[in-house]
Amino acid sequence: MRERVSMRSVREVLRQKWALGRPHRDVAQSVGLGIGTVTGVLQRAEAAGVTWEVAQALTDEALEARLYGPRVGPAVTRELPDPREIHLELKRPGVTLTLLHHEYRENAPEGYGYTQFREHYHRWERRQRLSLRQTYRGGEKLFVDYAGQHAWYELGGMGVECELFVAALGASSYTYAEATHTQQMSDFTESHVRAFRYFGGVAAVVVPDQLKTAVSVSDRYEPGLNRTYADLARHYGTCVVPARPAKPRDKAKVEAGVQVAERWILARLRDERPNSLHALNERIWALLSELNGRPMKGLGVSRRELFERVDRPFLRPLPVEAWEYSEWKPAKVSIDYHVDIGRHYYSVPFSLVGETVDARVTARTVELFHRSQRIAVHRRSWEAGRHTTVAEHMPAAHRAHAEWSPTRMIAWAGSVGPQTAALVEAILRERPHPEQGYRSCLGLMRLAKREGEVRMEAACRRALFGRARSYTSVAAILKAGLDRVPVEAEADAAPRAGHAHVRGPSYYDS
């Protein structure tokens, strides 16, 4: 029985492997899948003739149909060289796994590809419990973390505690640092943006610790990335491979960078109190420039010199468009075919009523996705309780919804009493589209069931008297017990059943 993999994970595997050229193991760690699963996805894609460009043009359903048709036949068993011989050969100067694989294929043209050859050797290597010094190629990895110590500035005579973000490139140890108020996602991602700008490019891999900000599911083998962080990686054409818990060698570079930042920067600021976060960062960056310019012990060159020589030439270029911070939220489509984002309601095609969609929210826009396909985009609104509706998302004019309609809403309200019926009619009448009043009406139904018809009628009567036209107003009246306070007869202008302005259910059937 085949293992099912979500299409979102499949797309990310194909992007990182074919667009970024990452090794299987890095892809598996970044996406949160097993290596075998990653291999299986790639094998199915190759067998189905699906390239990264083809995958981008397919819907989730079409991509799944292409990949998970008939199973690929079993691989032919081929002989692999003795891993002990590979290990001995690697000790010789200038010998690499790439060279050894090339020689292997010269003697065995039908032999395994480089990925399987490499995996064969590393499986044996892990069993030997070898402890090898980590080496990094230029432009390959950027390590990020927060210092354990805090930075401070003074505001109004009070000290303000800040976090110290540290990023260090693997090959050169070239370091960036800055203070932020929090470790929350907005500060965390913006620190990455400024670090990339400082370096003038982007490393192929970003390695964070398993911070709650970065990793939504902490796991040694299959960590799950926060979706906003994954978006940042896609925007900059990189990928994220979190360090494994309790594996200090995975993050030794940044831990050393953090220690140096604490000793060279924070220790020198211990008696200083800048008057703002900006002033604090100005001091940090001045000290950082000195740090990167100091010769390193044992090498005789500075981080900056090493950066210019081994890291800068291999960094990926910065994207043309600036990164815009976004948050992802799941949202269920209500019966009025709108979703609630920050108490403002945005429309989606009415056929998605009852479905769950993904909302990508920025300061300017709200994008809505269903099964990885964008179904709507709206300008962000901060007006609570209001609706943003696209006409094309609405059902045909006057077509009753399969389960709810204005007629049904008014009929229910009439069963409670004339005041409730009048309020429901007013809610539906005063919205640009009756469906936009469905949420309020459903809320009134729940209140009537909980509080009883007598209290509901009295609360609706008072709401009509005060020209309130919402569920929240009636709920507040009931909570405060104002439904038990009589409304003065001479001032009572609330409509009653049979009033000239009450349209009745038949109005909505025309």
- Say if residue 303 is in the same domain as residue 155: yes
Segment (H or E) for 290:
helix 277-293
Q: Is residue 372 part of a domain?
A: yes
Q: Which range in 224-233, 243-252, 428-437 is most confidently predicted, on average pLDDT?
A: 224-233
**Is 508 a residue whose pLDDT tops 60?**
no
**Cα–Cα distance, 100 to 106 (Å, whole number):** 10
Measured distance CA(394)–CA(378) in Å, rounded: 15
In the chain, the number of structural domains is 5
Measured CA to CA, the distance from residue 31 to residue 470 in angstroms comes to: 45
Domain presence at residue 74: no
Shared-domain flag, residues 294 and 150: yes
Rg of the chain taking only CA atoms, in angstroms = 31
For residues 214 and 277, state if they share a domain.
yes
pLDDT tens-digit readout, 10-31: 889 899 888 888 888 888 888 8
Query: In whole angstroms, what is the distance from residue 401 CA to residue 438 CA?
Result: 11
Asked if residue 172 is part of any domain, the answer here is: yes
Residue 399 resides in a domain: no
Distance CA 146, CA 353 (A): 43
Residue 1 lies in a domain: no
Q: What is the mean pLDDT of residues 50-74?
A: 76
Q: Within this chain, do residues 163 and 230 fall inside the same structural domain, yes or no? A: yes
What is the CATH classification number for the domain harbouring 207?
3.30.420.10
Does residue 123 or residue 167 have the better pLDDT?
167
Given this model, what pLDDT does residue 217 score?
56
What does the pLDDT look like over 470-501, one tens digit per residue? 888 899 989 888 888 887 643 544 455 444 44
- Residue 22, domain extent: 7-67
What type of residue sits at position 286? A
Whether residue 154 is found in the same domain as residue 283: yes
Question: What is the average pLDDT across 71-93?
Answer: 60
Last residue of a domain, one of 393, 423, 442: 393
Give the model's pLDDT for residue 179: 94
Same domain for 410 and 284: no
Which residue in this structure is represented by tokens 């074919």?
18
Computed over every residue of the chain, the mean pLDDT equals: 81
Same domain for 211 and 178, yes or no, is yes
Same domain for 267 and 155: yes
Cβ-contact 121, 89 below 8 angstroms: no
Indicate whether 77 belongs to any domain: no
Grouping H, G, I as helix, E, B as strand and the rest as coil, residue 494 is coil
Which of 67, 95, 114 is the C-terminal boundary of a domain?
Answer: 67
Question: Is residue 390 very low, low, confident or very high in pLDDT (cuts 50, 70, 90)?
Answer: confident
The answer to whether residues 155 and 258 belong to one domain is yes
Q: What is the pLDDT of residue 278?
A: 94
pLDDT category at 328 given cuts 50, 70, 90 is confident
Last residue within a domain, chosen from 349, 368, 393: 393
Is 173 part of any domain? yes
Are 59 and 152 in the same domain? no
Measured distance CA(151)–CA(253) in Å, rounded = 21
pLDDT in tens, 237-286: 998 888 776 565 556 666 777 888 888 888 888 888 899 999 999 999 99
Q: Is residue 300 located within the same domain as residue 378?
A: no
Q: Give the tens place of pLDDT for each residue, 172-214.
A: 889 999 999 999 888 999 999 999 999 999 999 999 886 777 7
Whether residue 401 is predicted with pLDDT greater than 70 in this model: the reply is no
Domain shared by 21 and 90, yes or no: no
